[in-house]
Structure 1
Amino acid sequence: MYLYNLYGLIIMTYQEISHHRLVSQKLYKSTQCSPQEIVRHLGAMQAQDYAMAKWAIGSRCDSSEKTIEEAINSAKIIRTHILRPTWHFVASDDIYWMLDLSAPQVKRFTTSAAKKYGYDDKKLDQANAKIEKLLYGNIHLTRDEIMQELNIKKTSSDDFLSAAIMMNAELDGLVCNGKMKGKQITYALLEERVVKPKTKLTKEEALAKLTKRYFESHGPATLLDFSWWSGFSATSCKLAINAIELQLNSVEIENQKYWFGNNSSTADNFRESVHFLPAFDEILISYKTREASILLEHQSKAFTNNGIFKPIILENGKVIGTWKRTIKKDYTKVETNFFNETESHKKAILFEGIKAFENYLETKIVIE
């Protein structure tokens, strides 16, 4: 249950914030959800590490990696560049309004990168026209195959150009991920994979929708957390929060206001939990500051200043170590690194949390 002070305001500690985030981010698996429902709930899930991003979905539902792969191949889940200049998973229901909202701000990065290689807006439009012809008729091609047709050679410098060209095509709503070709990612025409809606949201409506989605699925979180996650300025985010303020709850800790959904259940009592979460998981990366989930002294062990996030071990909402997996022929090897000295009997309890990953992979896990 929530506690209230004399002024009727909700009182919450950092420990309680980390617990509520487990609930809002669906890590307690209190209800059965499909992979696409998990992605829709979270709005957008960072997905540059494709294998780990699939586990970010799998850790929140009981689906296997194969089932999640099927949802991506069938375009129930789209992998594209959105919100910030990085890969995200987004539900097919959300792809068009979210692109309309965020593409203009992300395109500033892609057009700037393309200009360094002699590609202005006109040349990018010409590339789009050629890509559309190549992929028309439900053709799915890898980036290398597309670049070969565009006569762009595969060199280290041209690789940045090809990335900018394809990202621009994604942001223009032309392409998205196609079906996997073995282990290779392909591109396909977005409108051949997801039917375009007849109506469009205004920018204000879309930003209000994104704001509500974020705080309901990631809250309690701050204005700056939302600004970081969405890529929008703090000023724009503040206006969006003000517009839907009555649809949210808030709590203040050390002069910082945290927002969360009105539909947050007060019946979700604390329970012991261990989660082996992937690199770049939303539980850390979707917040500007992360003191609610990981002690300052341990942060450099879990993520770097240049934005590389490691797979983490979460106990009762707190990061207690990192892990890595190595896929073998008949099993998967998991190695752990706990921040503090951990006794063998405690490790045995913690390792129970890896069973979810074993079920997801549908293969044996060996811990070393």
Structure 2
Amino acid sequence: MRSDLAPWRLGPQLLAGTTLDSPEEVVRHFGAVQSQEHLWAPWAVGMRCGATFEQVLDGLWPRDVVRTHALRTTWHYVHAADLPHVIAATADRVMGQLVSHMRRAGLEEAQLMAASEVVTQVVRENPGCTRTLIAERLRDAGHEEKGDRLAHVVMAAELRGDIGGERRPGQHEYHALDLGPLPSHDDALAWIARTYARGHGPVTAHDLAWWSSLTVRQARHAIELAGLQPVTLAGQELWSLGEPQRVEVPPVLLLANFDEVISHVRDGDVKADAGPGYDTAMFATGLLFLGGRLQGHWKRTVGKDQVDVEVSPDRPLTAAERTLLDEQIERFRAFAA
């Protein structure tokens, strides 16, 4: 996220101003929340609704939120009521990425789909099962899959909307889904553009394309269908859901490594804005933002009796920033305790 756009983007991202009352509401606000890292994704949700780690898990499951591969062939939290729109808009694109990846791994599309149908049946017959049982039943059916190939066979069933799951400490558990009829592709495209703009602030078509796995052309069509309005902010042409509202930018933010803020961070201007520490921060376990600019990284170590946080800023902090950083660290410790 470019720091000069932070005043208009951090409000919709629930990082300044308004927060929500529950983890479920946070997930619905964004449409999909990346949850690749199980110990970090709850922080991205919890800091937006004042919930602790355990409260986030309790607020998602056994609620109607599933953890599934929905966008970019990576894990996301998605509400079951929103999943039909996500699948109708993006599943063909993501499935295409999956099929190409599996073909390179030696599994042709027909084999992939046949194996994924077995996965669906196993999950329907064994609610709450893990990949261990799925792998056993696949082997019994003549599909010897493990590791990356097993994960992607299961993903194919997720992308059809057949199964989804939950993840508490331990293995991921899968459950059958019944999503009913999907919306039309155009309705789903309009929904995903509106939802993305609502949760991420004024956006570009390239932002939406990266986040959703759509092509840029499809993203532009989605923006048109959604009726987003054009705005110019900080010299950039953007699209917005309603009139953008400026907020005060928090001087210090400790964010999860895959926080939803990264949907803008692939912009070349963002890399220039962050400076030479960009690559290091993006591959770290946590993101440090100072005044809306990516300016370092952090990591946490959870022990038996305490949570240690180590922050590596790209520049010296002012006394005021140091005080605010300490407050953020204590907030994270309270979340993780």
TM-score, structure 2 length as denominator? Answer: 0.88
Match of 1:21 in 2: 9
State whether residues 44 and 90 of structure 1, in contact with CA within 8 Å, keep that contact through their aligned partners in structure 2: yes
Gaps of 5+ in 2: none
Q: Percent identity?
A: 26
Match of 1:297 in 2: 276
Q: How does 1:1-368 map to 2 (within 5 A)?
A: 15-116=3-104, 119-136=107-124, 139-151=127-139, 158-178=146-166, 180=168, 182-191=169-178, 196-197=179-180, 199-245=181-227, 247-251=228-232, 253-254=234-235, 256-262=236-242, 264-265=244-245, 268=247, 270=248, 272-289=250-267, 291=269, 294-303=273-282, 308=283, 310-342=285-317, 346-361=321-336, 363=337
- Which protein has greater RCO, CA pairs closer than 8 Å, 6+ apart? 2
Gaps of 5+ in 1: 1-13, 364-368
* Shift in CA distance, 252/315, structure 1 to aligned 2, threshold 3 Å: closer
Deviation at 1:233, TM superposition (A): 1.1
Deviation at 1:174, TM superposition (A): 1.5
Deviates more, 1:285-294 or 1:320-329: 285-294
Q: What SS is found at the alignment partner of 1:78?
A: strand
Match of 1:3 in 2: none
TM-score, structure 1 length as denominator? Answer: 0.81
Q: What SS is found at the alignment partner of 1:312?
A: strand
State whether residues 45 and 89 of structure 1, in contact with CA within 8 Å, keep that contact through their aligned partners in structure 2: yes
State whether residues 16 and 250 of structure 2, in contact with CA within 8 Å, keep that contact through their aligned partners in structure 1: no
Deviates more, 1:271-280 or 1:80-89: 271-280
Q: After TM superposition, which residue ranges in structure 1, 4 or more long, deviate above 6 angstroms?
A: none
The aligned length equals 333
State whether residues 101 and 206 of structure 1, in contact with CA within 8 Å, keep that contact through their aligned partners in structure 2: yes
Q: Which amino acid aligns with 1:68?
A: V
- Give CA-to-partner distance per residue, 1:146-204, whole Å, 9 cap, x none: 1122228xxxx831210111111111211111463x4221222123xxxx24x532111
Deviation at 1:118, TM superposition (A): 5.2
Q: Which amino acid aligns with 1:301?
A: T
- Give CA-to-partner distance per residue, 1:207-264, whole Å, 9 cap, x none: 011111111211222121111111111111112222334x43411555x412222054
Q: Which amino acid aligns with 2:64?
A: K
* Shift in CA distance, 54/29, structure 1 to aligned 2, threshold 3 Å: farther
Structure 1: how far apart are the matches of 2:245 and 2:6? 15
Deviation at 1:292, TM superposition (A): 5.1
Match of 1:11 in 2: none
Q: Which amino acid aligns with 1:190?
A: L
- Give CA-to-partner distance per residue, 1:257-285, whole Å, 9 cap, x none: 1222205435x4x2544221111111124
Q: What SS is found at the alignment partner of 1:214?
A: helix
Q: Which amino acid aligns with 1:174?
A: D
Deviates more, 1:61-70 or 1:272-281: 272-281
Q: What SS is found at the alignment partner of 1:57?
A: helix
